[in-house]
């Protein structure tokens, strides 16, 4: 039998941090996987705070993950609306969408990103 390796990392010491107005995205690479923790402050809205940086009016990226705390909302351009609440597991498609933090506490979610290349 081969030895099984274990690794521990903490989001408090991420491998990468992407900061933007009213939010941040902390990235950790571990065991061929990349995870991201998104923290959006009250008042954050993708179309207001991220669109000018990305250059599109709505987000086109897919997102798969789970809500850790707070309340998020998604509105697809076709009118579909989704509430994201703690404990929910989500997959947001590439259909253009807006998102925002609801209420007066930060919205925090964990995202499974593409596998980390060696």
Alpha helices in the chain (DSSP H): 46-49, 51-54
Question: Residue 106 CB: number of other CB atoms within 10 A?
Answer: 18
Number of neighbouring beta carbons within 10 Å of residue 13: 8
- Going residue by residue through the chain, which has 118 residues, state the pLDDT in tens, using 9 for 90 and above: 445 666 899 999 999 999 989 999 999 999 889 999 999 999 999 999 999 988 999 999 999 999 999 999 999 999 999 999 999 999 999 999 999 999 999 999 999 997 666 5
**Residue ranges of domains in the chain, CATH in brackets:** 17-113 (2.60.120.10)
Question: Where does 2-111 have alpha helices with state H?
Answer: 46-49, 51-54
Cα separation, 38 vs 73, whole angstroms:
14
For the entire predicted model, the pTM comes to: 0.88
State whether the Cα torsion 22-117-84-26 is positive or negative: negative
């Amino acid at each position: 039998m081969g030895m099984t390796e274990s690794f521990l990392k903490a989001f408090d010491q991420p491998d990468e941090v992407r900061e933007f107005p009213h939010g941040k995205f902390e990235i950790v690479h571990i065991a061929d996987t990349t995870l991201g923790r998104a923290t959006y402050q009250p008042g954050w809205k993708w179309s207001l705070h991220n669109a000018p940086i990305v250059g599109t009016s709505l987000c086109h990226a897919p997102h798969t993950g789970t809500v850790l705390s707070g309340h998020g909302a998604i509105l697809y351009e076709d009118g579909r609306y989704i509430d994201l609440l703690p404990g929910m597991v989500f997959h947001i498609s590439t259909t253009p969408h807006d998102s925002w933090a609801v209420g007066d506490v930060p919205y925090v979610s964990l995202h499974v990103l593409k596998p980390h290349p060696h």
